[in-house]
Amino acid sequence: MKKEDIPQDTGAFGKITKEVCYATDAEGRYTTELSKGWDVKNSANDAAWQDIGERQKTAMARVLNKEASPILYFMELKLMDIKVLAGYTGFWAWQVRRHMRPDVFKNLSDRRLRRYAEVFEVRVEDLKNMIPQ
């Protein structure tokens, strides 16, 4: 791509940050240039954030319907999956899956709840009551 062809389509991040792109200058040498964004990339990011919002709403509904524990909601809120959450808490993935069951969650020790609360950056009471910070 030539230096003058680098897209400058302002998107969600265009006012906050710029992206470094490689382009060729007038002599044909590679150089770096800043880009505000690209419509195709902006559309993909918007779609991804919309999907994340839907997953968070679904998680909240499942917790409110007592189909899952608040761990699922906070996991979605912090953009984690079971493997990542297991890594941060030190629990095995199968334990995290088990802790997502409401009947198991209500019997978790304070020590285990504190580990989750620390990872989610909330108080234990907020974790139990599903109150994000």
The predicted-structure confidence for 77-119, as pLDDT tens digits, reads as follows: 999 999 999 999 999 999 999 999 999 999 999 999 999 999 9
Residue 50 placed within a domain: no
Residue 23 placed within a domain: yes
Tell me if the pTM is above 0.75. yes
**Angle between helices 70-77 and 39-64 in degrees, nearest 10:** 170
Closest CA to 85 of 118, 59, 93: 93
Q: What per-residue confidence (pLDDT) applies to 81?
A: 97
CATH number of the domain enclosing 104: 1.10.260.40
Residue 122 placed within a domain: yes
For residue 7, what are the domain limits? 3-37
Beta strands in the chain (DSSP E): 19-24, 30-35
Provide the residue count of the chain: 133
Average pLDDT, the chain: 90
Tell whether 69 and 121 lie within a shared domain.
yes
Q: What per-residue confidence (pLDDT) applies to 1?
A: 74
Tell whether 33 and 69 lie within a shared domain.
no
Instruction: Name the domain count of the chain.
Output: 2
Tell whether 74 and 123 lie within a shared domain.
yes
State what percent of residues in the chain have pLDDT above 90. Answer: 63
Tell whether 123 and 83 lie within a shared domain.
yes
Q: What per-residue confidence (pLDDT) applies to 35?
A: 82
Residue 49 placed within a domain: no
Local structure of 73: helix, strand or coil: helix
Tell whether 74 and 26 lie within a shared domain.
no
18 or 13, which is more confident? 18
Q: What per-residue confidence (pLDDT) applies to 14?
A: 63
